[in-house]
Structure 1
Amino acid sequence: MAGRHDPRDAAQLRLAAVVIALAMVGWIVLQWAAKQYGWEPRWVFLVDLAAIGAFVWSLLVTWRIWRRRNG
Structure 2
Amino acid sequence: MSEQSDKAQSRKGQTVALVIAGTMLIWLAANWAGPALGLPGRYALLIDFAALAALFWSLVVAYQLWQARRAADDG
- Please, what TM-score do these two structures have when normalized by structure 1? 0.90
**Structure 2 counterparts to residues 1-71 of structure 1, below 5 A:** 3=1, 6-71=6-71
Paired with 1:14 and 1:24, the residues of 2 have a C-alpha distance of 15
Q: 5+ unaligned residues in a row in structure 2: which ranges?
A: none
Q: 5+ unaligned residues in a row in structure 1: which ranges?
A: none
- Which consecutive aligned stretches of 4+ in structure 1 deviate over 4 angstroms post-superposition? none
User: In the superposition, relative to structure 1, how do residues 4 and 41 fare at CA in structure 2: closer, same or farther (>3 Å)?
Assistant: farther
Q: Please report the RMSD computed on the Cα atoms of aligned residues, expressed in angstroms.
A: 1.3
* 1:4 and 1:69 in contact (8 A); partners too: no
Percent identity over the alignment is 32
- Higher CA-based Rg: 2
Matched residue count? 69
Which structure: greater helix fraction? 2
SS in 2 for 1:39: coil
